[in-house]
Each structure stands twice: as C-alpha cells, then as structure tokens.
Amino acid sequence: MQTKLALIVSDTPQAQAGVEALRSSHDWVAPAEADVLVVVGGDGFLLHVLHEMLDWDHVLPCYGMNLGTVGFLMNSQQDDGRSIAQRVAEAHSVSVRPIEMHAVDKHGQEFCYYAINEVSLLRETRQTAKLEVRVNGKVRMEELAGDGIMVATPAGSTAYNLSAGGPILPLGSRMLALTPLSPFRPRRWKGAILPESAEVEFRIREPEKRPVAAVADQKEVREVRSVRIVASQVKELTLLFDPGASLEERIFAEQFEV
C-alpha cells in the first residue's frame, strides 16, 4: 500500500516561493490521514512541528526539506531526479527522545514542557545566576555561579550545547550533556555527561536578587525557583534522512570539522 504523505510548509517567503513545484508533484493528503509528514522550511520550523506532534495521539515520522537557514535536521531540497514518494521510501529513520522540563515559578505554579534539543537555565539580569545542581536526588554541586546551565539531548548536542563548549553526543547513546554557561565558580568545571535515565534538578539560590528563566527549546518560564528534567518515557519522535546524509553522519562530521 502506498505511503500517504502530508505537506506542511513554513510561512516564510523563502519556503513559500520554493515549494510550488513540490506542491504539484504529489497527491498530498491531510495530516490527519497521513503516514508521514513532509516538512518544508528550516530547523526552527521542523522543531515547531515536532513539538505540535507531541500533543497528538499518534506521532508521525517527519521528512524535512531545507528551505531555511541552517538545515541541520533537514534534507536537501535539490531535485535529484527522484520523486518525493521515492525519497521518503528510501530514507533512513532516526529515533529522537525528548526530555521533559518541570519548572516551578515564584508563585508556586508548575509548568511542564518538552524539549527536543535542550533545556537551558539563564540569568535574567546582570546579576550572576547561582544554582544548586542535583542528580538523582543527590546534591552534586552546592553552588554553580555563572550565566546558567543547560541539559542537552544527543539531537541537540550540536546546537546551543556545542556553541557553549559542550560535548557532542552520538545518536543512540542514551546520554545527556550537562553544560555550564560562562561559569564563574567553579571556573574550571566543564560540565558532565549523564545517562539518559538520570533525573537532573536545579534549585535557584537567591532567586529574588538573581532571577533565572528556564527555556525548553522555545518555551520560556521566568523567575523559576526549581527545575526538574527527565527523559520522556512515553514520547519518541522519528526523523527521516536521505541515504548517506543521516543525522548520525552529520554529528560525526561535526566532530572532525576544523
């Protein structure tokens, strides 16, 4: 039986202008009837679609086509002579497990969001953030002073995490990167690599004087008091990549780039 494809396109002028030939090249169905979503745009738009799908009853594989800026999570939109149906049929799948952020703000309200790339804690003012770091209920660092800290997934380890000096994690490693942001004390701490099963918790020290925001990909909670992060046990996403251009290959290439 033929795979049913749905087309979702970013509203940016670049994506809208470049998708006309694709629109007429296939008999598309509505997302509710589809087996696979073809997502056209950039990495940010694909992440938006993936987050939307986390609220669906049934999560679909996504084949991204790059008509954005970076396109690290996307496939090339160049015509290689294959139909879109053929490209999807020949694509390799990669499973991506999001992490869950449970943040409590100064009013005691709890906010729960998924992150596919990373959860970041960031100082809100010129005052240095001061954080207590716990792993599996045990205090591992009584006070980290700096701009903040992040927990990154393997899929997100080459994004903000890499720019902050964090490690690249291979896909399938079931690990998380704990990476400080401009640490002042302890100055030489470079972070840690944790098993995906670890529960990471941050408690804000001096929160009135040193307010901190927590960000799960694009979702932000300001003036948090505590943040708990765990890997999702029930949600898993699937990305599709052309042969020879898998996400795993791109992560390998990042480690040898000079």
Query: Are 71 and 154 in the same domain?
Result: no
CA distances from 108 to 7, 20, 105, 115, 149 (A): 41, 49, 5, 22, 22
Q: Is 43 a catalytic residue?
A: yes
Q: What is the CATH number of the domain that holds 27?
A: 3.40.50.10330
Say how many Å lie between the first and final Cα of the chain, rounded.
Answer: 46
**Annotated binding residue 63:** no
Query: Are 222 and 211 in the same domain?
Result: yes
**Annotated binding residue 117:** yes
Query: Are 18 and 110 in the same domain?
Result: no
**Annotated binding residue 160:** yes
Q: In what order do the strands lie in the sheet with 192-195?
A: 192-195, 175-181, 148-152, 118-123, 212-216, 219-221
- Total structural domains within the chain: 2
Residue 33 has pLDDT above 80, yes or no: yes
Q: What is the chain's alpha carbon radius of gyration, rounded to the nearest angstrom?
A: 20
Catalytic residue, candidates 11, 43, 55, 57: 43
**pLDDT per residue as tens digits for the range 42-82:** 988 999 999 999 888 788 999 999 987 777 888 988 777 88
Query: Are 82 and 179 in the same domain?
Result: no
> What is the reported pTM?
0.85
**pLDDT per residue as tens digits for the range 129-139:** 999 999 999 99
**Annotated binding residue 48:** yes
Query: Are 88 and 104 in the same domain?
Result: no
Mean pLDDT of 23-38: 94
